[in-house]
């Protein structure tokens, strides 16, 4: 019923494919308009709307290394760096 379409991104001007599966999804959700931006430009636009996340630097409670976290650390709760967090989560 649907066939892949080649569309032009209104932001970057590059061609992108509006696949048959995506068209079926749009129809199922009741969307009437085709996408006007390619996947990369849609993602960039979403990220720009969110703004930058403030990061805080602290010391890892396990290894003593630097840990950058997206929340204000508290003195009464240990904070782990990414490596120690992943190791603990995998265990």
Residue 91 has pLDDT above 70, yes or no: no
Integer Cα distance of 56 and 62 in angstroms: 17
pLDDT in tens, 54-76: 899 999 999 999 999 989 998 89
Task: Kindly tell me if the per-residue pLDDT of 80 is higher than 90.
Answer: yes
pTM value > 0.95: no
Q: Which of 48, 46, 65 is nearest to 57 (CA)?
A: 65
| 3-class state of residue 22 by DSSP | helix
Residue range 6-62, pLDDT digits in tens: 999 999 999 999 999 999 999 999 999 999 999 999 999 988 877 778 899 999 999
DSSP-derived 3-state class of residue 86: helix
Cα–Cα distance for residue pair 18/37, rounded to 1 Å: 10
């Amino acid at each position: 019923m649907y066939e892949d379409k080649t569309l032009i991104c209104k932001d970057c001007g590059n061609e992108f494919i509006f696949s048959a599966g995506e068209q079926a999804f749009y129809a199922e959700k009741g969307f009437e308009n085709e996408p006007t931006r390619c996947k990369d430009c849609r993602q960039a636009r979403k990220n720009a709307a969110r703004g930058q996340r403030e990061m805080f630097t602290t010391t890892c409670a396990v290894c003593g290394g630097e840990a950058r976290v997206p929340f204000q650390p508290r003195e009464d709760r240990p904070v782990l760096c990414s490596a120690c967090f992943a190791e603990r989560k995998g265990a």
